[in-house]
Amino acid sequence: MKTILDLISQHVRALGAYVPGKPIRQAERESGISMLKLASNENPLGPSPLAVEAMRAAAAEVNLYPDNDATELRRQLAARHNLQPEQIFVADGSNALLDIICRTLAGPGLNCVSSQKSFISYPLFTCAAFGEYIAVPARNDAYDLNAIAAAINENTRVVFLANPNNPTGSMFDAHATETFLRKIPGHVLVVMDEAYYEFGQYFATLRGVTYSRSLDYVRAGRPNVVVLRTFSKIYGLAGIRLGYACGHPELLQYFARLRTAFSISATSEAAGLGAIRDEEHVRKTLANNAIGAAWLLERFAELGLHTISPNTNFVYFETDENADFLAKRMQAEGIIVRSLVPWGIPNGIRVTIGTPEQNERFFEALKRTMRQSVAL
């Protein structure tokens, strides 16, 4: 006689699972030593103090249900971005937004397109929504926008563009975006995933490059462009799960029908409202990140490792061995880094840019680990 476990659909059985960065407590239990986690691109300066203060105040009212639409946060985000509140949709993180987008638009016989060496959640949510995922080969560890445009067909419903890209840290500019969008038919939604927007903007300004005009398309009322932002990175609020989409009001109304009711907690909305007021925390984060990025690039060059000049709060690099093996030995040294084997990059590693002291600790551990590799 069959049990309920025997009746799980083949579709669900075949789905891959998201592989998160290893939790620090788990790594410490496994290794028996204190750990420094540099695997998940978390803000090394911690959360915004104003956000923490706002969460403490909101905690006194958690007996009440939250505002399902995060009305005040939407209003303030709209004012910051010169949008209307109806053009902002708040959800519990970027992954939730991606899931909703795929459930809204993907389905049997339809496909979503992106690049190889890009965010691991894109194929997971596409396939969960019964869609086909098309990964176009990367070009020089970056998006090949011409090839992505050429891969679109009548069954394509979504194109995912992570800009800057996770996990390689590559970035394309506003002109490339404009050229790409001219090629995109109206039946395809272009998702501009700008989780690392503030870092990308900072590095682009240093280089004299116009990084993104993505919100201009939203302001112009273009229905097939949606822009995703998050509070997890620059604001240091990864643990509360808060992100938002900017797009056409009618499209966002359909997204709202698929969002779990009350998924944005009262403390999450309060934290977001506090964080966007904390310009000093943002400034310190960007300054620390720029110093760390430059320092790490110099150190990687000393070791002769292939890296990409970062536009984010992490650095991508490649080794001569399997990344899982190197990450395991780094953990034995007390450092958690992100193996990119689950991304299909067998020798790729992603490391978060930390404080100067954390970066030095990472680099010393990396040198020891690479010497062990040579000895083996």
For the CA atoms of 298, 304, 305, 309, the dihedral, rounded to the nearest 10 degrees, stands at 40
Q: Where are the domains of the chain?
A: 7-37+280-375, 49-278
pLDDT at 19: 73
Element (H, E) at 310: none
CATH 1.10.357.10 fits 49-278, yes or no: no
pLDDT at 215: 98
C-alpha 303/C-alpha 277 separation (Å) is 41
In angstroms, the first-to-last Cα distance of the chain is: 52
pTM for the model: 0.95
Contact criterion met (CB below 8 Å) for 347 and 321: yes
Instruction: Give exposure, 125-158, as e/b (b: 16+ Cβ within 10 Å).
Output: bbbbbebbbbbbebeebbbbbeebbebbeeebbb
Which whole-number Å values give the CA distances from 159 to 25, 107, 132, 148, 195, in the listed order?
Answer: 36, 14, 12, 8, 16
CATH topology identical between 7-37+280-375 and 49-278: no
Question: Which fold, 7-37+280-375?
Answer: Aspartate Aminotransferase, domain 1 (3.90.1150)
Which pLDDT tens digits describe the chain residue by residue (376 residues)? Answer: 888 777 778 887 887 777 777 787 887 788 888 999 999 999 999 999 999 999 999 999 999 999 999 999 999 999 999 999 999 999 999 999 999 999 999 999 999 999 999 999 999 999 999 999 999 999 999 999 999 999 999 999 999 999 999 999 999 999 999 999 999 999 999 999 999 999 999 999 999 999 999 999 999 999 999 999 999 999 999 999 999 999 999 999 999 999 999 999 999 999 999 999 999 999 999 999 999 999 999 999 999 999 999 999 999 999 999 999 999 999 999 999 999 999 999 999 999 999 999 999 999 999 999 887 655 5
Whether the link from the prior residue into 85 is cis, omega within 30° of 0, is no
Burial of 350 (0-12, 13-18, 19+ CB in 10 A): buried
pLDDT, tens digit, 9 for 90 and up, residues 13-66: 887 777 777 787 887 788 888 999 999 999 999 999 999 999 999 999 999 999
